[in-house]
């Protein structure tokens, strides 16, 4: 996702370029399978303003059942990129001071990969779900409850909560609590 902006940097403030982008990712460690959208580059007095309207196709992992599922999201990115070196008023070259700024490298290549990566990660839900109705995994045997029912005893209580479970009302067959008298 690199764009050569050498000519745009020479033009006057307000000059623009518009690109349609489609990027597919196959490497491990990717944050998206594919992104596509329209990219607008606008020359500013200091650098280039990047405006992107993107759609991202991501393979996510459900936080309940641990299965992978496809998810799409759309977002807008607006970020300014600055040249790595700037010619100052006396003809010398100043390096960019801000370590957090997005930089146009010395070959005039503007790379939006990091901006897109950060945006996709920021857009990711904290607890992604394959469906709202996802039943998850059985806490005892680990079977996927969306696919199969398990035969585990639902009355198994975590030993850490056993003392509290004793306080719950129980049915002794007559519809009354064990502490109640007939």
- Residue 177 has a pLDDT of 45
Query: What does the DSSP 8-state code read for residue 144?
Result: B
CB 170 within 8 A of CB 179: no
- Residue 32 has a pLDDT of 82
Task: State how far Cα 150 lies from the chain centre.
Answer: 33
Name the phi and psi angles at 160, rounded to 5. -70, -25
**Can you read off the two tokens belonging to residue 156?**
């198994």
- Residue 175 has a pLDDT of 44
- Residue 94 has a pLDDT of 54
Taking CA atoms, 162 is separated from 60, 68, 106, 143, 157, in Å, by: 36, 35, 66, 24, 6
Residue spans per domain, the chain: 2-123
**Can you read off the two tokens belonging to residue 25?**
């990712």
- Residue 121 has a pLDDT of 86
**Running along the chain, 182 residues long, what does each successive block of 10 average in pLDDT?**
88 92 74 88 92 91 92 91 67 56 86 87 90 89 86 72 78 47 44
What's the rounded Cα separation, in Å, for the pair 37 and 78? 13
pTM: 0.67
- Residue 182 has a pLDDT of 43
């Amino acid at each position: 996702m690199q764009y050569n902006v050498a000519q745009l940097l020479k033009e006057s403030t307000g000059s623009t370029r518009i690109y349609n982008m489609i990027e597919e990712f196959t490497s491990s460690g990717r944050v998206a399978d594919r992104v596509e959208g329209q990219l607008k580059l606008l020359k500013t007095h200091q650098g280039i303003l990047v405006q992107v309207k993107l759609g991202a196709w991501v393979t996510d992992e459900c936080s309940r059942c641990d299965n992978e599922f496809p998810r799409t999201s759309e977002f807008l990115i607006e970020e300014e990129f600055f040249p790595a070196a700037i010619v100052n008023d006396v003809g010398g070259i100043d390096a960019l001071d801000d370590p957090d700024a997005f930089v146009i490298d010395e070959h005039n290549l503007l790379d939006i990969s990091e901006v897109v990566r950060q945006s996709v990660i920021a857009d990711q839900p904290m607890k992604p779900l394959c469906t709202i109705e996802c039943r998850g995994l059985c806490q005892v045997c680990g079977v996927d409850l969306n696919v199969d029912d398990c035969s585990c005893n639902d009355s198994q209580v975590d030993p850490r909560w056993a003392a509290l479970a004793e306080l719950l009302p129980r049915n002794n067959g007559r519809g009354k609590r064990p502490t109640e008298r007939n």
